[in-house]
A and B are shown apart, each in its own frame.
Chain A
C-alpha cells in the first residue's frame, strides 16, 4: 500500500472528551472504569464500564441532531468535527474527493433497545406496537446512518461506507480508509469508529458468556490486561476519527502529518466465533503481512499497541502471536494495552488505539498498561506496567482480535520516515 498520511485526530473517550484530555489520561495511567451510571446495573454479573461523560449539547449538536442520532453517532460526529478542525482540510478538497470509512461493532443498539422497550411495552409483547415507533427509528436500525452523519459533517461525496467486523472494526475501518486513499479513490478519507454499547442488552450478552470482569467491588482496577489476576474485559464506549490524506495532497496544502499508515493486513482464525487458540498463528500472520507491506523488519517495531482485552484467552493468544511474528525482538520492544484505562469499546476501541498510536509517535511516549501488578508467567513481554515511558517511537504496530475470528494488524510510522523516499 502506498502510504496514507494522518493529518487530523478527534477523540471522544472515557475520562475525557478531546485529544488533549485523552492523551493526558493515557499518559497519566489513570483508569476511567467505574460502576455503570447509564442504567441501573443491579442484577447483572458485570456492573462496570468505562463511560464517557459526554453531553452532546455541550459539543455543539443541535436539538434535532441529538434527537435523530444514537449516542454512538453523536460521539462519531463530535470526534469527526475535532479531527476535521485539527487537520484544516475542510474546503481544501472538493467534496467528490472526500470519503468516509467508519467502523462500529454494534451500531445504534442503545436507541434500538430504548425504542424496543417502548414498542413492546417493556417486553410484554412479541407483536410490538408500531404506533409507538419513534420518528427516527429507521436511522437506528441501519448503523450506516452513523457513516452518513459523519459524511454530512465532512461534506463528503466520494465513497462512504461502514466497516463492521466486530471488535476489529476500528482498525479495519481506518485500514479500509487508507486503502481508498492509496487506490486513488479519494484524496481525503475521514476514518474512524464509534460504539456506545453500555446498555442492558449488550451488558447481558457479555454476562452470558462471562467475557466481562465480575470484579464489581473495585471498578477502577477491574480491567487488568496481561495481569495474572485478570478476569475479563470491562465494557467501554467512545469514538475516534483520523483524517487520512494521500501524502501528496497533504504536502500540497502544507498539512501537518502526525504519522503515516504503511501497513494493514487481516487474517481470520476460522476456529470459533469467540474462542482463540493459544498459538496466535493467524494474528502472527496478519502482523507479518502488515510489516511486509510497510517494508519493515520485525526489529523496526518500537511499540506494539496491543488488543490486550484482559480475558485469560486473549492475552495469552496475543502474547504468543507477537512472539511468533516478531521473534526475539518481541522481548526488546514494548507492548501496552490502553483497555486497562478506557475499557473495551468494541468496534470503537481499534480507532481509539490507532489515535493513541499516532500520539505515541507524535510525542515519543508509550502509554502504559494500568493495573498490571502481578505478572503472568504466560505473558512475559514488556507491557509497560503502570507508568508511561518516554522513548523514541517511529514505528507502531497496532493489533486487534474480534468475535468472528478477525485478526488485524496496522503499521504506523513517523512522518519523517515517509518523506525520506
Chain B
C-alpha cells in the first residue's frame, strides 16, 4: 500500500445498517448510548432451537429498496443496496455524473442469500423444480450484491467479491485501495449480511460456536469470564473510498485514510507452529508505516469464546505490551455480522476519530483477559490511528490500519477534526 505512486485512499462516505440503528448517525448515537441489539429472534419460530437470540435488524424498511429489486434479491442485498446508496449520498456523490469505468464496487460476503435460497429450496423439495423462480440464479450467489450495486449505479470499473468469513470484510477494503491504484476514481466497498433464517442459523448452531444463553444482556460477552460463544447479527456497512487528491479537489469531507493492510492464515489444526494473527497486525502496521505506539485504539475480532479471546489478547499483548492500547468491539452490541462487522468497525473507528471518543464494550463487566478494554462507558480520547482486526473460520486473519486524514495543505492551521465540527 505504501508503494510509490499509489494514491492515498481516503474514506469520504459511510453508512451503517445494524440492530442498534439503521443509518450512520443513529447507529453511532445508540452505540455510544450503550444499546444492545441482541434480542429474541422474531422472523421465525425458534421453538426447539438451542439458540433463540440474535441481533436482528428490526427497523429496516425494505420499501427503501427499489421495488423491483426487493423481490429479485435476498435481505442481505437489500441492506447492501440501501447502505451503498446512503454511503454515496453521504460522500456527496452522484455516480450518474461520473464515467462508468471510473467507478468500482468491491464487497465481501460470507454466506450469500440465505433466506432467499432456503425459500427456493423449500419450493423445489416440497413441490418440484418448476417452483424454483428465475431470481434464484441471481439472488443466492455471493456476487449478488456487488452485481446489483454495479448495475444500479452504473459502475463499470473493476468490481469484485471476496469471501473469507469475517476477514473478507477487511480484505475487501484493501481491494478498494488496489482499485484506486488501477485508476478507479470512486470505490464503494464494505459488506452486509443476513444470516438469521432457519437453515442458516442451523448451520451456525452446528458449529457449536454460537451462544445458547437466554438472557440477551448475558449472551455474547467477548473477553468476559462468562464468554460462552457469539451471536450472529444482521447488517454491516458500506464506505466510499477515493484518492485523497480527488477528494480534496472536490472539497469532500475526508473521514480518514486506509493506511495499511495485511492478511495471514493460521497453520492447520494440530500444527505446532504459532497462530498468525500477530503477524497480520505487524505486517499491517509496517504497511501503514506505523509503530505499535502510534495505534490509539484496537477494534478487536472479539469472538466470544474463551480460547479465541485468549489468543487474540495474546497477539495484542505481544505487539502492544500488557494493556498497551485501548481495545474495544462493536460486536457485543450489534452481534457478529461476519464480513459486515469489520466493515462496520472501520466506519466506527473513523467516527471515533471524528468525535474524539472510544465506544465501550456493552454488557462486559468481568474481563478474563489482560487488556485495556473500554468498559462501562465511552472513553473520551483523541484517536488518530486505529487498528481493526478480523478473523475468519477456519484460520483467516486480517488487519487494517486507518488514520485520521492529514490537515488540508491549503489551510495548514485546520485539522480534519475542526473541519468535521464545522461541517456538522
Footprint of B on A, CB under 8 Å? Answer: 43-45, 95-96, 100, 104-107, 112-113, 116-117, 119-120, 122-124, 126-131, 133-145, 147-148, 151-152, 155-166, 172, 176, 179, 183, 200-201, 203-209, 211, 265-274, 282, 285, 402-406
Contact = CB atoms under 8 A, between A and B. Distances in A.
B247 interface: no
Contacts, number: 267
Nearest to A159: B263
Interface stretch (B134-142, B315-323, B348-356): B134-142
A405 to B, nearest CB: 6
B159 A268 contact: yes
Given A128-B202, A205-B137, A206-B137, 11 more contacts: A127-B48, A142-B110, A144-B163, A157-B267, A157-B273, A159-B262, A201-B124, A208-B132, A270-B153, A273-B144, A404-B144
Contacts of B44: 126-127
A137 B206 contact: yes
A128 B199 contact: yes
A126 B198 contact: yes
10 contacts: A44-B129, A130-B48, A148-B393, A159-B171, A163-B162, A164-B143, A203-B129, A209-B134, A273-B144, A405-B159
Given A133-B203, A270-B156, A144 B393 contact: yes
B395 A120 contact: no
A120 B126 CA distance: 10
Interface in B105-145: 109-112, 117-118, 120-129, 132-134, 136-138, 140-144
A160 B265 contact: yes
B128 A43 contact: yes
Contacts of B378: none
Judged by DSSP, the binding face of B is mixed
A144 B132 CA distance: 26
A145 B262 CA distance: 20
Given A158-B264, A164-B141, A402-B143, A144 B164 contact: yes
A163 B161 contact: yes
Among A172, A201, A203, max chain B CB count under 10 A is at: A201
B187 to A, nearest CB: 13
Contact of B265 (A100, A107, A165, A273): A100
B1 to A, nearest CB: 9
Contacts of B147: 166, 268, 273, 403-406
Among B128, B156, B171, B273, max chain A CB count under 10 A is at: B156
A157 B150 contact: no
Closest 5 CB pairs of A and B: A404-B147, A123-B125, A138-B207, A123-B126, A137-B206
A107 B143 contact: no
B94 interface: no
Interface in B257-309: 262-268, 273, 276, 279
A201 B204 CA distance: 21
Interface residues on B, range: 35 or more
A335 B15 CA distance: 45
A152 B265 CA distance: 9
Interface string B37-68: 00000001111111000000000000000000
Among A137, A151, A162, A405, max chain B CB count under 10 A is at: A162
Contact of A133 (B158, B168, B205, B263): B205
Interface in B153-205: 153-165, 167-168, 171, 178, 198-205
Interface of B: 3, 44-50, 72, 100-101, 109-112, 117-118, 120-129, 132-134, 136-138, 140-144, 146-148, 150-151, 153-165, 167-168, 171, 178, 198-207, 209, 262-268, 273, 276, 279, 338, 392-396
B143 A404 contact: yes
Contacts of A201: 117, 120-121, 124, 132, 136
A164 B150 CA distance: 15
A271 B162 contact: no
Nearest to A179: B178
Given A133-B203, A144-B393, A273-B138, A268 B164 contact: no
A144 B137 contact: no
Contacts of B205: 130, 133
Nearest to A148: B394
A267 B164 contact: no
B129 A135 contact: no
A285 B226 CA distance: 56
Contacts of A206: 137
Nearest to A164: B142
Contacts of A106: 140-141
B143 A403 contact: yes
A165 B142 CA distance: 7
